[in-house]
C-alpha cells in the first residue's frame, strides 16, 4: 500500500516524486488515494487549506490551551475509509458527539503530532507505529476561543474496528465511514442556520456527523481526495463566537 520510492530519510521529498504527482492534481482514485504520490501532493497543498475561523486580534494565541485531533484514514476490507468515535456520555464536554480521537497537549508532548498520536492510542489502543502521518492543518480556535485545535492527518492501513480496544471512559463507540459514502450527495447536507450561514453535515452512517468534526472532515477530504470527494458546500470564514452558540443550541 505505501511505496517508499520517493520518501527519503527525515521526511524530505525527492524531485522525482513531484513529477509523478502531477497527474493526481485532479484525478485521485480509490486505488491511489493512500499512495506516496498522493501524500506528496497533499504535503504541497497543506498550507493552502484555509482555517475555518481566526482568532480576534485582542486574543493572544499563546494564552490558549492547545489540543490536537487525528483524522485517521484507513482501509476497511480494502475500501478507503475514515475512523470516527462517539464520545462517552461520561465526559463533561461534548458527550455523545461524533468526533475524531484527540485531546489536550501535555507538557511532555513534543508537538501536536505527538499529542494526536498519544491521545489516539489512549482512546483506541492504536499504536503510533501503525499510523503514517501526512501532515497538520492550520490550527483552529474552539468555539469559546479558549483552545486551539490542530487537525493532524494520518493513514492507519487496514483496520477492523472490532479489534480496537477503545477506552470506554472516553469512547462509547468506534465506527468507520467509507470515503465513497461521504462523497455521495445523498449523504451530504448543508444545514442553514439563523443569521444566514450554513455548515456541512453527513448522514448515511450510524451517527450524524456535524459541527467542527464535519468541517475538518470536509476540508481533509477536499485535500486528499479531489478525484473522489465532491461537495459544493463553502465554509463561511470566519465563524464568529456568536454563530457557534447558535450551532450548539440548534442541536440540543
33 within domain boundaries: yes
Number of domains into which the chain is organized? 1
2 within domain boundaries: no
4 within domain boundaries: no
CA pair distance 157, 34, nearest whole angstrom: 9
pLDDT (tens digit, 9 = 90+) per residue, 142-181?
767 788 889 999 999 999 999 998 887 778 899 999 999 9
67 within domain boundaries: yes
Q: What pLDDT score was predicted for residue 184?
A: 94
CA pair distance 211, 213, nearest whole angstrom: 5
Domain that holds residue 62: 9-250
pLDDT (tens digit, 9 = 90+) per residue, 175-229?
999 999 999 999 998 887 666 667 789 999 889 998 889 888 998 999 999 989 9
165 within domain boundaries: yes
3 within domain boundaries: no
CA pair distance 182, 13, nearest whole angstrom: 31
| CATH assignment at residue 202 | 3.90.79.10
1 within domain boundaries: no
- pTM (2 d.p.): 0.80
Mean pLDDT of 34-62: 83
Amino acid at each position: 500500500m505505501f511505496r517508499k520510492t520517493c520518501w527519503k530519510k527525515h521526511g524530505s521529498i525527492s524531485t522525482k516524486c513531484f513529477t509523478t504527482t502531477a497527474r493526481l492534481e485532479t484525478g485521485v482514485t480509490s486505488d491511489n488515494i493512500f499512495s506516496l504520490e498522493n501524500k506528496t501532493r497533499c504535503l504541497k497543498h497543506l498550507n493552502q487549506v484555509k482555517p475555518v475561523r481566526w482568532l480576534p486580534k485582542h486574543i493572544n494565541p499563546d494564552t490558549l490551551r492547545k489540543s490536537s485531533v487525528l483524522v485517521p484514514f484507513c482501509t476497511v476490507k480494502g475500501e478507503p475509509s475514515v475512523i470516527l468515535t462517539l464520545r462517552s456520555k461520561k465526559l463533561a464536554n461534548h458527550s455523545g458527539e461524533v468526533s475524531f480521537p484527540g485531546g489536550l497537549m501535555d507538557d511532555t508532548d513534543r508537538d501536536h503530532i505527538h499529542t494526536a498520536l498519544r491521545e489516539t492510542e489512549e482512546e483506541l489502543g492504536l499504536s503510533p507505529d501503525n499510523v503514517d502521518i501526512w501532515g497538520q492543518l492550520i490550527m483552529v480556535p474552539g468555539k469559546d476561543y479558549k483552545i486551539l485545535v490542530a487537525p493532524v492527518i494520518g493513514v492507519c492501513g487496514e483496520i477492523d474496528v472490532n479489534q480496537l480496544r477503545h477506552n470506554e471512559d472516553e469512547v462509547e463507540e468506534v465506527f468507520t465511514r467509507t470515503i465513497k459514502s461521504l462523497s455521495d450527495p445523498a449523504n451530504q447536507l448543508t444545514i442553514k442556520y439563523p443569521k444566514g450561514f450554513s455548515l456541512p453535515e453527513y448522514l448515511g452512517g450510524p451517527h450524524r456527523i456535524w459541527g467542527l468534526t464535519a468541517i475538518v472532515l470536509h476540508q481533509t477530504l477536499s485535500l486528499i481526495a479531489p478525484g473522489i470527494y465532491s461537495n459544493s458546500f463553502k465554509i463561511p470564514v470566519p465563524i464568529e463566537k456568536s454563530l457557534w452558540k447558535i450551532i450548539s443550541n440548534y442541536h440540543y
